[in-house]
Structure 1
Amino acid sequence: MDAPRFTDALTPAEADEVLALFDADTRPDGQEPLNEEARLLLRRPGATHWLVRDGADLAGYAQWQPDAGTGQIVVHPDHRRRGLGTALLAVLPERRVWAFGADAAASGFADASGLQPVRELLVLGRDLPADLGGRLPADVKVTGFTDADADAFIALNARAFAGHPEQGRFSASDLAARRAEAWWDADGLLLARRGERLVGFHWVKVHPDGRGEVYVIGVDPDAAGGGLGRGLLQAGLDRLAALGCPSVFLYVDGDNTRAVELYRRSGFDEVLRDVLFA
């Protein structure tokens, strides 16, 4: 087994190999070992990478995201229990690593490595259609995204997620990367306008298996209240239901009590949780 090899940029062939490893390690329940941002960074600057080979085969991979200060690790199922996870954890600049859909194996690895949970992302879901009773304020109009909305949307997102460790850094290049993805749908980025001003948005996503996702929902802090957030949630769920999605899920920080309570009141139950260990 080779030692982890460092690179600050993957070749296209290496990126394809990591995606094949990702597919091999995705659990039967659909839980994926790398999140969307990590997969996008396989072909974009903004991350560093380590590859472990067994002969010609890619046996393990680690990625470090400097802006977030977190890592992600994936080991091929045929190469587990051979110390690869420990070796990849050791090369990360800091011992801060995500476990997605954290199960007993991930928790056991973290415990054996002396790591503790420091952040939790709850994965909540519910069936569709859903009538939450949410209504938008009478003076708010919802439209789909257009090219002319890009700058205003980026600015609105920054206000809505100021201080958030990931979404608060969302940039024009991040938007461009999502618009290049096969799932992109301009009408799925619902923008709430009060006159000419953007005051909120609900970005929904349809997955290949037909499930819908509350991808991001945000409200300008200066426009909060009056049912805007709940109305946007309803508008997005209505769109997903109209597209034929039988269910919807979302991610929310476990310590975001206000948002968790809103979603639970809206019929969302916990499906999984992602844990950041450090």
Structure 2
Amino acid sequence: MTLTAEQVRAQLPDLARAAQEVDGVAPLSEQTLLNARHGAPDGESPDGEGPAMVWHDVDGELIAIAVSDASRASYELVVRPDHRRNGYGASLLDLVVNQVSEEGAARVWAHGDLPTARSLATSHGLHVVRELWKMARPVDGEPGIEEPSLPTGFASRRFEPGADDEAWLGVNARAFAHHPEQGRMTLADLRERMDQDWFDPTGLLLIEDVTGERPVLAASHWTKIEPPGAAEGEVYVVAVDPAYQGRGLGRAVTTLGLAHLAAAGVRTIDLYVEGDNAPAIATYRGWGFDKASADVMYAL
């Protein structure tokens, strides 16, 4: 490894784009790219915690990398298309597998579960332990997108950066208390996303309980169009405070977001759901969504 970690982080987005152009699927998650951007100068944090990176480079070009999440519980790997079939992916996966054997924690994501990734994982004795489905529907598909309707005592509005940050984080944390990634979002994580080019506060829709002296945030739907003006929009984060579950807010806030995306001019809407969440999958199918692809986590 002749490149510095700083140089690697600078080249990482280009490597990810090159792989996506060939494979048709992003090889690294949004959170992984954000984590890598703010990693330690040498690729390792001083206390041995936080994101880790190991990579291969040739003539000053980053050609392959394995990047961990903040807790080092999972890794993502990508090899530049014109350098594949040279053993770079296998050598990086060897390092990750050794991490699994020593700590019993590290796992590996295969975004899109492409045949080459599946073959590499199985050759190292890994098996599927988790699936994250991508489901999608055309805006003009059937059934049509519902007209938003709120239960009595609730009102909707747009997110106000700075004023709503803490309240939104509170609802998000409670709604995703048992989620391995989303439930850990911090104020720094939120503001980092708000700094991205795709962030649009008008696309973060809030539902408030307005029956008391002051409004109380009860649910939210964060939509995403990346890049701005793209033909595909995403149901990014839907959260309902557990204290307000059972009042129809999940459906209400979801339809608010779908209607917003349709009005923004996207042609397709997608979302992500755990592959073993049968009730949620059935609900989304009822709204016209079908499975488009899957991200798969492998482990020993």
C-alpha displacement at 1:264, in angstroms?
1.0
Q: How does 1:176-195 map to 2 (within 5 A)?
A: 176-195=191-210
> Is contact 1:134-1:227 (8 Å) kept?
no
Q: Deviations over 1:10-64 (max 9, x none)?
A: 31x3222111111111145631110111111121244111120123221101101
Q: 2:154 aligns with which of 134, 140, 145?
A: 140
| Secondary structure class of the residue paired with 2:284 | helix
The one-letter amino acid paired with 2:201 is: A
Quote the residue 2:219 is aligned against.
Answer: 200
Q: Deviations over 1:112-167 (max 9, x none)?
A: 11110000000000011542466321221111111211111111001000110000
C-alpha displacement at 1:106, in angstroms?
1.5
| Secondary structure class of the residue paired with 2:24 | coil
Q: Distance in 2 between matches of 1:179 and 1:90?
A: 36
> Is contact 2:8-2:62 (8 Å) kept?
no
> Is contact 2:209-2:217 (8 Å) kept?
yes
Q: Compared with structure 1, are the counterparts of its residues 242 and 157 closer, same or farther at alpha carbon in structure 2 (3 Å cutoff)? A: same
> Is contact 1:6-1:49 (8 Å) kept?
no
Q: Return the TM-score normalized by structure 1.
A: 0.92
1:231 equivalent in alignment to 2:245: no
| Secondary structure class of the residue paired with 2:55 | strand
State how many pairs are aligned: 272
> Is contact 1:124-1:268 (8 Å) kept?
yes
CA RMSD of aligned residues (A): 1.8
Percentage of matched positions with identical amino acids: 38
Q: How does 1:101-250 map to 2 (within 5 A)?
A: 101-129=112-140, 130-132=144-146, 135-146=149-160, 147-195=162-210, 196-208=215-227, 209-250=230-271
> Is contact 2:22-2:81 (8 Å) kept?
no
Quote the residue 1:73 is aligned against.
Answer: 77
The one-letter amino acid paired with 1:85 is: G
Q: Compared with structure 1, are the counterparts of its residues 42 and 55 closer, same or farther at alpha carbon in structure 2 (3 Å cutoff)? A: same
Q: Deviations over 1:170-204 (max 9, x none)?
A: 11011011011000111111111002111110000
Quote the residue 2:65 is aligned against.
Answer: 61
Q: Distance in 2 between matches of 1:108 and 1:133?
A: 45
C-alpha displacement at 1:77, in angstroms?
0.9
Q: Deviations over 1:219-264 (max 9, x none)?
A: 1111112321111111001000111011100111111222212111
Q: Deviations over 1:67-111 (max 9, x none)?
A: 261000000111111111111112233351100011221111111
> Is contact 2:156-2:205 (8 Å) kept?
yes
Q: Distance in 2 between matches of 1:131 and 1:164?
A: 28
Q: Distance in 1 between matches of 2:199 and 2:148?
A: 25
Choose 162-171 or 78-87, whichever is displaced more: 78-87
Q: Distance in 2 between matches of 1:137 and 1:177?
A: 33
Quote the residue 1:258 is aligned against.
Answer: 279
Choose 75-84 or 162-171, whichever is displaced more: 75-84
Quote the residue 1:51 is aligned against.
Answer: 55
| Secondary structure class of the residue paired with 1:67 | coil
Quote the residue 2:47 is aligned against.
Answer: none
Choose 23-32 or 240-249, whichever is displaced more: 23-32
> Is contact 2:52-2:72 (8 Å) kept?
no
Q: Return the TM-score normalized by structure 2.
A: 0.86
